[in-house]
Structure 1
């Protein structure tokens, strides 16, 4: 147990990986590389790609009760906060493919034995905490602006809320808070998960490096965030079905974006 570590690597120090300044073209290069990985090895994605739409469908079904209808939109939109967590396996496949190694699903399963697993779990906890904060904030906003609104089913609920005199306040404040939380998630995790796959550096190093990368490359990082947001919106507009394609592409592209932003581990 002496080697158990979470916030830093096994050496017990906060590493400072070298980072690069990139252009918007590099962001689209990473996206194209993600598309190519998806095209080359689509058979590996059945499990991870289905988790996203199935989990969304379960959440929607769970929220089908009238008293829980206000949480449908926050639950669906909040998925964006969990994207990097759900895409870890896809990043590992791209990492192995880039190195010319076997990229079968068994190697993704083997991540449970990785020395960086505690750090990966800590990063996952950070994103889950943001997700919970978003749900609490969304519920509080709904109660503040709309109150206890009874509705006969989903369509009746939607019409009632949108025609409510305080609807604009709910929409504006809800989206502002959601944007702020999504921005935090982007800044602290843009390279965090692929970095931990690349090197056992610890969660603190992963977050610190992500923040450094975001400060050095604000425009490319913003463009990447817009690409992710737009892609997930399209996926949700298709009742989650589109996420079967969108999710793996973004997951693979995240690895290649990391490779452009951070100098890889020498080992």
Structure 2
């Protein structure tokens, strides 16, 4: 169990603090371009992985429609984007392997399960899952307060009421403002957390802390990246979520390249002989 660390890497309690680079909007756009290049390298493999996202989305819509919970369709579709970083873990691995000129066959995406950082990855994933659940509960609570918990009769009637009444616009404005807060929390805590953990086993706390520092050091580029993600997911969701089969892989690969631009590479390990000679000279 000595290697089963979550808080920080190693058996001690020291927390690593990777160096943050300053980037610009052009770097964000370049990361997006590189993400497209990774996707087009072998698109059939990546579309296969990306289909997980729209399939689950369709299942969620079907479930809410059959369970008289039509009011939760929009919160589920927007909130499900909070789980995007989890679904894209395999894509980070593919980009990492392509960067190293290794075999990028799609089954390598499953090799992340053997990562020594998997316990920390699971912890950060659980955090995002919890954030997703809290968002859904919050959205339902808001709906109950505005609509007195009335059950929508049909999708058409519900959409018409939301778009043409004062209570509907109250729901839209407050719901999106609250959703924006949740999105900012997710962005500031995980924007580079998963790629960082896949690249370096530094622990969940260090990965989350590094993501927060990356946001603070590059607020405008990172918020621009968040806007790109939101708009891309919205566009991908419009044609019955089918577009997400392309949007999710591209964003996943781009996230890896954004991580590379924001975080300084880990210093090369010092050879044992060199380390001993340094000690002797001191």
TM range (shorter): over 0.9
SS of the equivalent of 2:131 reads helix
| 1:66 and 1:153 in contact (8 A); partners too | no
Task: State the match for 1:211 in structure 2.
Answer: 212
Structure 1, unaligned stretches of length 5 or more? none
2:247 — aligned with what? 246
Pairing of 1:36-185 with structure 2 (within 5 A): 36-65=37-66, 67-185=68-186
Aligned counterparts of 2:41 and 2:60: Cα–Cα separation in 1: 32
* CA-based RMSD: 1.4
Compute the TM-score of the two structures, normalised by the length of structure 2: 0.91
Counterpart for residue 225 of structure 2: 224
Structure 1 runs (4+) deviating above 6 angstroms are none
Unaligned 5+ runs, structure 2: 269-282
Tell me if structure 1 keeps the 8 A contact 2:47–2:249. Answer: no
The answer as to 2:29 corresponding to 1:14 is: no
Alpha carbons 2:31, 2:254 under 8 Å: kept: yes
* Conserved? CA contact 2:131–2:182, under 8 Å: yes
Q: Partner residue of 1:3? A: 3
**Deviation by residue 1:14-41 (Cα, 9 ceiling, x = unmatched):** 1011110011100000000000000112
User: Which has the higher mean CA deviation after the structures are superposed, 15-24 or 65-74?
Assistant: 65-74
- Mark the structure with the bigger radius of gyration: 2
Aligned residues of 2:88 and 2:252 also touching (Cα < 8 A): yes
Shift of 1:11: 4.2
Moved more, 144-153 or 248-257: 144-153
- The count of aligned residue pairs is 267
Q: CA deviation at 1:168?
A: 1.9
Structure 1 residue 163 displacement after superposition: 3.6
- The alignment status of 1:262 with 2:234, answered yes or no, reads no
* TM-superposed deviation, 1:158: 2.0
